[in-house]
Amino acid sequence: MGLVVQKYGGSSVADAEGIKRVAKRIVEAKKQGHQVVVVVSAMGDTTDELIDLAREVTPVASGREFDMLLTAGERISMALLAMAIKSLGHEAQSFTGSQAGVITDSVHNKARIIDVTPGRIRTALEAGNIAIVAGFQGVSQDSKDITTLGRGGSDTTAVALAAALEAEVCEIYTDVDGVFTADPRVVPKARKIDWISAEDMLELASSGSKVLLHRCVEYARRYHIPIHVRSSFSSLPGTWVSNEPRGEQPMEQALISGVAHDTSEAKVTIVGVPDKPGEAAAIFRAIADAEINIDMVVQNVSAAATGLTDISFTLPTTDGPKAIEALEKQQAGIGFEALRYDDQIAKISLVGAGMKTNPGVTATFFEALSDAGVNIELISTSEIRISVVTRQDDVQAAVRAVHSAFGLDSESEEAVVYGGTGR
């Protein structure tokens, strides 16, 4: 029996009942003989409530003090969780990110982990205690100020601690049963995946699957930490994510891991761009200077008659207005004809390492969409992923058609969704 890192999201510890349920679960793992380190998020809506408070006080809530504020959330949940474990007769100690040795850079609100020095955690474990660690937070190497890790930070804390402590597994407890072949709210016949490669999981995460964030999977892949995503509301096994298939898991890799969709992006089309060197560079420099991350980029061949081409790209809808403003400023310099902006799009992605060696996948994918009457607006592919942009109204039909076409539908409608996700 080795060391296990368990991470519980905000929805798992939303109230006193949730905290007591999670405490029992932790004690079970301890009783099985594991050394247990628990990473916990803030309770339920605590973080949002703190953000609301900050906005009441100041129009610009950011930086050092915003981090100081938000980290109060995990302080509450971790102390309560330690108390709940104690009341079950087991010793538990809670640690802030700083006390747990989560060392970060100084970029407040979205710090990156530089190092993890979990000396106090090791001491607690050696004393036979359960260690509870605040997710999402750390301390900056230079200024010793409190930092937060940004979106998905608690998952990253868990994986980073698992790596530093050489844990057997990092269990991510959430409010769904694991990673599914598609979003069960859209595809009732979606199947829970028993094992998925870290590589495929990365593609799913960047294609709109919200169960695990890209950053956390990337960290786990780099440090060879197996992740077990599972529900805190049931004792069923969830989904294993690892570089290598695990002994007890099916050895064969599926052709297709799953279908992801994303309706949070918008599409910008720059019409009538002179087809000559440097034009695309000028466009994307303008976007980069506005600190906007773009996703898909598609350029068609130019029409021979005009020497003009169209360039389209997708980006988070929230960055849309900023992108349009940045491009309009450059219109004269770059010399394009017009800008089109469309936030009624959806991206549908098919992910699977198996497609590398199977030339029929693309054809089957497009046929499925066509049969479902879904029009394709943009196409972009990688080695193990095909993504298309469609109308947002078509997203359900598209995802279901593709899911079905690749034989991913389960016999029954087994998916259980509890709603809400942790930080």
Q: What single letter denotes the amino acid at residue 79? A: A
| The only residue of 11, 12, 44, 66 in contact with a second copy, by rule CB under 8 A | 66
**Is residue 111 a contact residue for a second copy (CB under 8 A)?**
no
Q: Inter-axis angle of helices 320-334 and 279-289, to 10 degrees?
A: 140
- Pairing mode of beta strands 102-104, 113-116: antiparallel
User: Was 185 annotated as part of a binding site?
Assistant: yes
DSSP state of 328: H
- Pairing mode of beta strands 378-382, 385-391: antiparallel
**Is residue 56 a contact residue for a second copy (CB under 8 A)?**
yes
User: Was 318 annotated as part of a binding site?
Assistant: no
Q: Which is nearer to a second copy, 65 or 367 (CB)?
A: 65
Minimum gap (Å) between residue 410 Cβ and a second copy: 38
Element counts in the chain: helices (H) and strands (E) = 12, 20
Q: Is 420 left (phi over 0), alpha (psi -120 to 50) or beta?
A: left
| The only residue of 45, 51, 65, 354 in contact with a second copy, by rule CB under 8 A | 65
Minimum gap (Å) between residue 177 Cβ and a second copy: 26
**Is residue 94 a contact residue for a second copy (CB under 8 A)?**
yes
Q: Which is nearer to a second copy, 45 or 168 (CB)?
A: 45
| The only residue of 29, 51, 79, 379 in contact with a second copy, by rule CB under 8 A | 79
| The only residue of 3, 19, 216, 378 in contact with a second copy, by rule CB under 8 A | 19
**Is residue 21 a contact residue for a second copy (CB under 8 A)?**
no
Q: Which is nearer to a second copy, 65 or 295 (CB)?
A: 65
196 Cα distance to chain centroid: 15
With a CB cutoff of 8 Å and minimum separation 6, the contacts of 293 are 315, 316, 319
CA neighbours within 13 Å on the CB side: how many for 119? 4
Q: What single letter denotes the amino acid at residue 110? A: K
Residues 420/210, Cβ–Cβ less than 8 Å: no
| The only residue of 37, 50, 198, 405 in contact with a second copy, by rule CB under 8 A | 50
Q: What is the x/- site pattern for a second copy, positions 129-168, by CB under 8 A?
A: ---------------x------------------------
Residue 237 CB burial class (10 angstroms; 0-12, 13-18, ≥19): middle
With a CB cutoff of 8 Å and minimum separation 6, the contacts of 12 are 18, 21, 22, 173, 174, 175, 232, 233, 422
Rounded Cα distance between 83 and 241, Å, is: 32
User: Was 210 annotated as part of a binding site?
Assistant: yes
Rounded Cα distance between 69 and 391, Å, is: 40
User: Was 377 annotated as part of a binding site?
Assistant: no
Q: What single letter denotes the amino acid at residue 232? A: S
Minimum gap (Å) between residue 87 Cβ and a second copy: 4
**Is residue 93 a contact residue for a second copy (CB under 8 A)?**
yes
Using CB under 8 A as the binding criterion, the count of chain residues that bind a second copy stands at 36
| The only residue of 41, 47, 71, 140 in contact with a second copy, by rule CB under 8 A | 71
User: Was 47 annotated as part of a binding site?
Assistant: yes
Tokens representing 113 are 């982990």
User: Was 362 annotated as part of a binding site?
Assistant: no
Annotated binding-site members: 7-10, 47, 74, 174-175, 185, 210-211
Binding site residues, a second copy, CB under 8 A = 15-16, 19-20, 50, 53-54, 56-61, 64-66, 68-69, 71-73, 75-76, 78-80, 82-84, 86-87, 92-94, 99, 144
